[in-house]
Each structure stands twice: as C-alpha cells, then as structure tokens.
Amino acid sequence: MSERIHNLSPGPAVLPLEVLEIVRENILNFSGSGLGVMELSHRGKEFRRIIDEANLTLRKLLNISDDYAVIYMTGGATNQFSAVPMNLLSEKTCGNYILSGVWAQKAIEEAKRLGRLHLAGSSKEQQYKCLPKDISLSNDAGYLHFTSNNTACGTQYLSEPECPANVPLVCDASSDLLCRPLDVKKYGIIYAGAQKNIGTSGVTLVIIRKDLLERIPENLPLLLDYRSYTNFESMVNTPPCLPIYILCETLKWVERSGGTAEMFKRNQEKATLLYDAIDSSEFYQGHAEPECRSLMNVTFGLHDTSLESKFL
C-alpha cells in the first residue's frame, strides 16, 4: 500500500500494516465463519475465542500472574480518571497523585470531584520538562497515581516511582504500555486507552490486582464498578467487540515480533535517532530534560521560538 503516509500522531496512532490487513479480511468473514467480526454475537464461541486469545497473549507478554484480573472497559483513559477514585477510595483514605503533565492534571481534576486528594509530587513549575523528583505520600494514602508516559510533554518513567508496599501503585499507561518489559507485580492497577500503543480507540485495558476488588464500595454505577467486569468476563453489557478484536491482533503482532524486549530495543533505536538529530541541530530544541526523555513521544520546539508558528 504505497499510498500510506507517515503517521506522527500519538493517538489514534499508526497500526502495523500486517494487523490492518488481517482485520480487513476478518471484517468481511471472521475466520471462515460466514459472518464479519463486527456481526458476531458477543455471547458466541467465535468472540469468546477472541477475548480468550487477547487475555492469554497479554498475560504472556507481560507475565501477568493469576493474582491479577484483565478487563476491557469503555470510556477511554478519561473514564478511569473517575473509576480509580470511585473504586479505591473511602472516607478514610486519600488519593495521592504525581502531577507530571497535562494528563496527570486531568486525572487529578476528575478525582477531586470524588474524594480527598494529596499532591505527592509535581513538575508543573518546571513546565513538565522533567519528572517530579521529591515524592511524599500522605499517611492515609489509598493509592499513588502516576502517568508513566506524559504524551504531550515527552517525559517518561522508565522505572516506577518509589511507593510503599502497602500503597497500591496506579498507573495511566495509555501512551506507553508494551513499549518495554514491565514488572506488573509492582502495580495495583494499570490502565490504558488502546488507541496509542495497543490497538484502536473504543476499548480501555485495565489490569487490576484482585485483592483490591474487596475494597470497592457498594452501589457504584454498574459500568464504573470494576467487579461488574471481573464477575462477567468484561461482558456485563455488549463489549466493544471490534476494538477488542483489533487489540487482540495487535497483541499477537507484538508477540510475533519478539515481545516487549524487542519493542524496547526498537523504541530505543527510534528515539535515539530522533534525539540525536535534535541535539545536533541548531534549529530544533528538545523540550524534555535528557534524563527524563520519552521513548514514545519526542517533543521539541525551535531555538528561535519566533519561527515556530511558521514551521508548523
């Protein structure tokens, strides 16, 4: 397909051509069933196969143990900004947040509507050019929330922020999930809208440590309660079947390509190419501090800022 152009958007982002070709075939006729993938009943054996395969592949890719549930929700990462405090906070606990960029800020704004909050660290004063250095949690921390990759600012955590073992670490990994191997055991919840690194918009992946389900208050709205998904295998209502299918094919592509270790290698190579070009140029100016730079989103401006609008 020679007419395809470079897609530099962070999300919805480019999908592997191989995945698009497989999806194209199966939109018309899923695996020889005589029905397209969008027409399959979510209660039928074909869709069951898709969701089982997605689970299995993700569990293999990230080495996820049985202590964790994998669920598929809707409403994007933005819906998780509300779901996390609703499910994890009580009157006695406080949501702890690291403010490292615009998406962290949005998560904080939503959580503020729903419970008490503590700012555990911030790099706002540094225009989010770096990750917050000093993290201090409140004594009543119900969880510590951070954004692993700050999409718009171009900074990334390549290892987790320090967090006491009794405080669940909650991560918005929307723009870097599967970009590197991850030790899932360090996390209470990992969530990611799929449209950047793992598929297409419409489905949000949530990986949740099962013991956290016990602290969920009663009477949450059905579709915001994580238990609705863990109890009904993500089919409490009609799930986003096509996005789950595309997610499944993307996960299988990552696996065929060599898994997260290979993704990490490729991402390092790609990012080095770009940062080297920026650093050796008198025209471009990198935004993020070198030690915090993202492998996913390479952000830059121009040395001569007066030329920026013309450049764009």
Which residues would be at the binding site for ligand PMP (CB under 6 A)? 11, 76-78, 103, 147, 151, 172, 174-175, 193
Is 172 designated active site? yes
End-to-end, the C-alpha distance of the chain in Å comes to 28
Rounded CA separation 87/278 (Å): 43
> Which residues are within 8 A (CB) of 25 and not within 5 positions of it... i.e. 6 or more apart?
none
Rounded CA separation 19/242 (Å): 13
Shortest gap between Cβ of 245 and ligand PMP (angstroms)? Answer: 18
Which helix (H) or strand (E) segment is 261 a member of?
helix 259-279
Shortest gap between Cβ of 299 and ligand PMP (angstroms)? Answer: 13
**Active site residue: 60, 66, 92, 103, which one?**
103
**Active site residue: 176, 196, 225, 252, which one?**
196
Which lies closer to ligand PMP via its Cβ, residue 26 or residue 85? Answer: 85
Shortest gap between Cβ of 200 and ligand PMP (angstroms)? Answer: 11
**Active site residue: 172, 176, 225, 252, which one?**
172
Please, are residues 216 and 169 in contact by the beta-carbon 8 Å criterion?
Answer: no
Write the single-letter amino acid at 117: L
Which lies closer to ligand PMP via its Cβ, residue 61 or residue 77? Answer: 77
Is 253 designated active site? no
Shortest gap between Cβ of 233 and ligand PMP (angstroms)? Answer: 22
51 class by beta-carbon count within 10 Å (0-12 exposed, 13-18 middle, 19+ buried):
buried
Which lies closer to ligand PMP via its Cβ, residue 11 or residue 40? Answer: 11
Please, are residues 176 and 296 in contact by the beta-carbon 8 Å criterion?
Answer: yes
Please, are residues 239 and 228 in contact by the beta-carbon 8 Å criterion?
Answer: no
Which lies closer to ligand PMP via its Cβ, residue 78 or residue 268? Answer: 78
Tokens representing 229 are 């998904």
Annotated catalytic sites, by residue?
Answer: 103, 172, 196
